[in-house]
């Protein structure tokens, strides 16, 4: 493990059960991971399912500083999904919690287990809108315009 920390970006989503409470607990859990600290957290957003099924999603994006490797961070996020009752009965099934590792510093990686940056981050309003809030230099006006047909709203 490296002694220097890397800024990573994690997208949170949930659309089963009490999604707001689940996402808020997941934020606390991610902040409590070993060698990981929450740095910035977006507002909560409500979005219609995109390439998924079920009720609306609650979404948030968090920036974290971590000393975990990309794979160790991914595994820790997957463990939190399991803890929340995440099941994967079929592709894009409704979910109690979905945690996607969007960026890990400037790392570019393509393995069967992990691709960085996340391959579809720029196609999803539920990532772009909250990301623009916490890391505006990472999101262009053209990217936001390309997803303007996806239903999403910031929650108060």
Tell me the sheet residues that pair with 62.
10, 41
pLDDT score of 83: 85
CA distance 36 to 145: 33
pLDDT score of 87: 61
User: Is 100 annotated as catalytic?
Assistant: yes
Classify 28 as helix, strand or coil. Answer: helix
User: Is 98 annotated as catalytic?
Assistant: yes
The DSSP H or E segment spanning 10 is: strand 6-14
Catalytic residue among 18, 95, 124, 154: 95
Whole-structure pTM value: 0.91
pLDDT score of 85: 72
Catalytic residue among 28, 88, 98, 149: 98
User: Is 35 annotated as catalytic?
Assistant: no
Classify 102 as helix, strand or coil. Answer: strand
Question: Phi and psi of 127, rounded to 5°?
Answer: -100, -45
User: Is 106 annotated as catalytic?
Assistant: no
Give the single-character DSSP code of 55. S
pLDDT block averages, 10 residues each, the chain of length 156 = 82 92 96 96 93 86 97 96 70 74 96 94 96 97 96 90
pLDDT score of 3: 62
Catalytic residue among 18, 46, 100, 124: 100
Domain locations in the chain?
6-154
CA distance 14 to 55: 9
Q: Which residue has the tokens 């979404």?
A: 59
Give the single-character DSSP code of 122. G
Give the single-character DSSP code of 56. P
Q: Which fold has domain 6-154?
A: Alpha-Beta Plaits (3.30.70)
């Amino acid at each position: 493990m490296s002694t220097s920390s890397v800024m990573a970006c994690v997208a949170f989503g949930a659309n089963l059960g009490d999604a707001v409470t689940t996402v808020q607990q997941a934020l606390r859990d991610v902040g409590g991971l070993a060698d990981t600290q929450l740095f910035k957290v977006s507002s909560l957003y409500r979005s219609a399912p995109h390439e998924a099924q079920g009720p609306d999603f609650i979404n948030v994006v968090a920036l974290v500083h971590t000393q975990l490797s990309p794979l160790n961070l991914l595994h820790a996020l997957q463990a939190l999904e399991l803890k929340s009752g995440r099941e994967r009965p079929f592709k894009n099934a409704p979910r109690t919690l979905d945690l996607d590792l969007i960026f890990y510093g400037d790392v570019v990686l393509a393995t069967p287990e992990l691709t960085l940056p996340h391959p579809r981050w720029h196609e999803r309003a539920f990532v772009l809108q909250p990301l623009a809030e916490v890391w505006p230099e990472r999101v262009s006006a053209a990217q936001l315009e390309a997803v303007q047909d996806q239903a999403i709203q910031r929650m108060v």
